[in-house]
Amino acid sequence: MTHDRLLRDRAAVAGLVRRIADAAARLGRPATYMEVCGTHTHAVAAAGLRRMLPDGIRLVSGPGCPVCVTPVGYLDRALALATRPGTVLCTFGDLMRVPSSTVTLEQARAEGRDVRIVYSPRDALAIAQATGQEVVFLAVGFETTTPTIAAALAEAEASGIPNFQILPGSKLVPPALLALVDDPDLEVHGFLLPGHVSVLTGWEAFRFLAEEHDVPGAVVGFAPTDILRGVLELLEQNAGGRCAIVNLYGTVVSPQGNPTAAALVERFFAPADDSWRGFGEIPHSGLALRPEWAHRDASRIPVVLPPPREPAGCRCGEVLRGVIDPPECPLFDASCSPATPVGACMVSSEGTCSAWFRQERWGSA
């Protein structure tokens, strides 16, 4: 981004903040809006947007960070797989320091397990080809990541690479939002919907929020101006008594999404009930490998798992549901920090606790 562009953005942000203040005054009551994308969490904190909003207008983060919502049992299984002789575990870097019931992947690597960080599932496939060892890729991610995993599987099939498996952990955003709006604890007056996920799903995938549950939403991009336009839209809908899903990221988000990617995912995966950290089981919220790809499915390998153990006192679950802000957790900035994370939300840079710790912690004054 050029310097001129940044200057123009500063002026545009100031204008939007004024309009938001006017709309908030028209609304005349507090409102809480939730973003459900880790990149939004990070962007809000990085630009310092939270403190620019008028009193009573609150931004909370939902379950938008795939690493954070990956349950402890998934990591336990990954660690068990890593202890099998000849196995290479490949993972996105974010998962390395996420607490399991026992050790982290980072600690397992230090103890001699073959755990490698990759930037794409195809890197893991390349390791399978180069080493001939049993490679297991930790397939964690939302709608944005799953097509790349499906593409790697397609390549493994086409090229006849037998020693490449995945541990399925892909999650779907719309079912999680359905679980959220059904949660009586939660008070959210609108959603800032995830721009990147919507590129894949299409914005119509979120219409049920407004049409069946009376919660408006705005699909937004990731610049400070994009996010503030979303807040303004939600405020104006609330103040005007309207309720709709609006696409403010029309340059890249269509009503129906990306059919090519959807077909590729459909070939390998089928929706299944899945467990989310902080939520428990959510119907149809995960993706399982179809039975015909059982030979690619590392979750079918029998392993001995420890009893699942969540970190004591950690309130990540409530943070992920937007019920509390991170400083309300007793561990925040006490025993839990990015250097020594207790809960998953403190590990990934997209995690809510990590974003707050780095960018919203002002000290006692």
CB 58 within 8 A of CB 32: yes
Integer Cα distance of 107 and 343 in angstroms = 16
Integer Cα distance of 225 and 222 in angstroms = 8
Q: How far is the CB of 269 from other proteins (least distance, A)?
A: 26
Q: Which residues contact 256 (CB under 8 A, 6 or more apart)?
A: 202, 204
C-alpha distances out from residue 134 to 31, 93, 247, 297, Å = 51, 20, 44, 12
Burial of 214 (0-12, 13-18, 19+ CB in 10 A): exposed
Q: How far is the CB of 14 from other proteins (least distance, A)?
A: 6
Closer to other proteins at the Cβ: 8 or 300? 8
Closer to other proteins at the Cβ: 46 or 103? 46
Q: How far is the CB of 286 from other proteins (least distance, A)?
A: 25
Integer Cα distance of 18 and 259 in angstroms = 40
Closer to other proteins at the Cβ: 184 or 363? 363
Q: How far is the CB of 244 from other proteins (least distance, A)?
A: 27
Applying CB under 8 A, the residues found at the interface with other proteins are 1-3, 6-7, 9-10, 13-14, 17, 45-49, 51-52, 97, 119, 224-225, 337-339, 349, 357-365
Phi then psi for 115, rounded to 5 degrees? -115, 125
Closer to other proteins at the Cβ: 123 or 318? 123
Integer Cα distance of 149 and 52 in angstroms = 39
Q: How far is the CB of 52 from other proteins (least distance, A)?
A: 5
Neighbours of 58 (CB within 10 A): 17
Q: How far is the CB of 45 from other proteins (least distance, A)?
A: 7
Closer to other proteins at the Cβ: 307 or 362? 362
Closer to other proteins at the Cβ: 13 or 197? 13
Q: How far is the CB of 254 from other proteins (least distance, A)?
A: 24
Integer Cα distance of 209 and 217 in angstroms = 8
CB 310 within 8 A of CB 106: no
Closer to other proteins at the Cβ: 197 or 264? 197
